[in-house]
Every structure is written in structure tokens, then in C-alpha cells.
Amino acid sequence: MTAETVSKSRCFGGTQGVYTHESSVTGTPMTFQVYVPDHAPGAKLPVLWWLSGLTCTHANAMEKCEYKRACAEHGIILVGPDTSPRGEDVPDDEAYDFGKGAGFYVDATQDPWAQHFRMRSYIEQELPALIAEAFPVDMDRQGISGHSMGGHGALTISLRNPGRFRSTSAFAPIVSPLNCPWGEKALTGYIGDDRSAWREYDACALIEDGARLPDLLVDQGRADNFLDEQLKTHLLEAACAAANMPATIRMQEGYDHSYFFVSSFIDDHIAWHAERLKK
């Protein structure tokens, strides 16, 4: 696999790049962004995967998340993929919460989505192989994080792949797609009506079914207008407590769902990941 460089820019003593490649998993071109701090020749750096939310591309976090200074300080590479396949031949939906920009990090099984919407396999298999080949990453030191739909992706991918990620965090994650309108719409459309098949894409269900993380950091704004209907952070708190799984879940007063919220606490998260990735 090879990736073509779209752009590179110096930033905080590192390089912010945007790249594209032909994905055999999605059958489309895929764009992703990578921030690489300056480092000694031959050095391998820990990597933090960032998964973005509904309507986002690779660019939203790159332009709004303000992670670069902290990544440079701690010597961490950050990789941010797109949220769905794109292209003229890729099916779409008129609503913002389904179709392009709303891949939900699942492998679709229903037509017409199954051909291209295979974001689970893309994030879990294809993109890591490309990153390991093309960038100076230490794949034994991986962390994962994300926002909203991307928080859902970070939680479920980490829970399904025990031992792969040394650290897992999330901002305002969709914690239980089985129990919210966004999740019910997406999983019905992509996976079908069999709700038992949804459980592998639901963080709370995965924990209930025995999956565990060594620890977890979640920030959620109390002024988030999606909190009560879509995000339901209390379900994650209950699942972690019932499983006796360590989790720091912080409810932040006055903060909403935006990247203003994410950028306020991203330094905390990167420092938290760095502590675990450098062990």
C-alpha cells in the first residue's frame, strides 16, 4: 500500500500532513491526516488514533482540536482518518446522521451500504497496516480517542481488540447505540433489524458481555444538547460500575458538544495517553 501526500505544514516543531490512498477495503480513495513531532533519526513514536464524529472529515479535528502542541510536547504521533467512504459512486442519505460522514465505524451488511461502508475493517486493519509501513510509529504503543460518533468508535474498537491499545479515552461518546435514535437509525440501516448483531457496536453491551479496558477517561459536557437523548453517559457509568471496570468519567459544567469543548480538554487527554504510552 502507498499513500500520496496532499499537503504538509510545519507546526509546533513537527509536521502536519494530509494523505490519500486507494482503499481495497472501502473500494474508494480515503483521506487521512497525520501529525508527526520532530524526533531522532530512526526513532519510533507512540501513536494516538483520533476518530471524529457525525458530519466530519479528516479535517475537522486537524483544524479545530488543537492537539498539535501537546503531541509535540509528549512526542506522540496522531492519526485522524475520515469518518466514511466518499465518492460519486458511494451511496448517501439526505440526513446528516446517515451515509457519507456517518460511517459509525461499522462494517455494513445491508445493501446498498455493504460494498463501501466498511469503516470497522478500515480502521482496525487496513489503515494501521499502512501507517505502520509509512510512518515512524511504534505499534506496541497505541492509544485511541474520539469525539461523539468517534468516541463510540474509539470505545468499541478498543473493547473488541483487547491488548491492542494501552490507553482509551473519549469526548461526549455515543455510549449505547442500542438505546438512542442515532444508533438505532445507523445500525438498522447498516446492519439490519437483528439487534443481537448490534451488540458488538455498543460499548455498554460489550462491557456487559465481558469486554474490559484497563482504564478509561471520558469527558462529557453538562450543557451538551445531545446528552439526554443521544449520548446517555449514565449508561456507561452504570456498565463500568457493574463490571468493576476502572473509568474516570468527568461531567464538565457549562460545556456543549462542540470542538470548543474538545479543545478545552484535549491537552489533559494527550497527557493521560502519554503517561500510559511511554511505559
Catalytic residue numbers, as ranges: 148, 224, 257
Count of C-beta atoms within a 10 Å radius of residue 185: 17
CA distance 118 to 154: 16
DSSP 252-277: ETT--SSHHHHHHHHHHHHHHHHHHH
Is there a contact between 214 and 244 (Cβ–Cβ < 8 Å)?
Answer: no
CB crowding 67-81: b at 16 or more within 10 Å, else e: bbebbbebbbbbbbb
DSSP conformation class of 198: G
Determine the distance from the C-alpha atom of residue 189 to the mean position of all C-alpha atoms in its chain, rounded to a whole number.
21
Element (H, E) at 145: strand 137-146
132: cell is 505502520
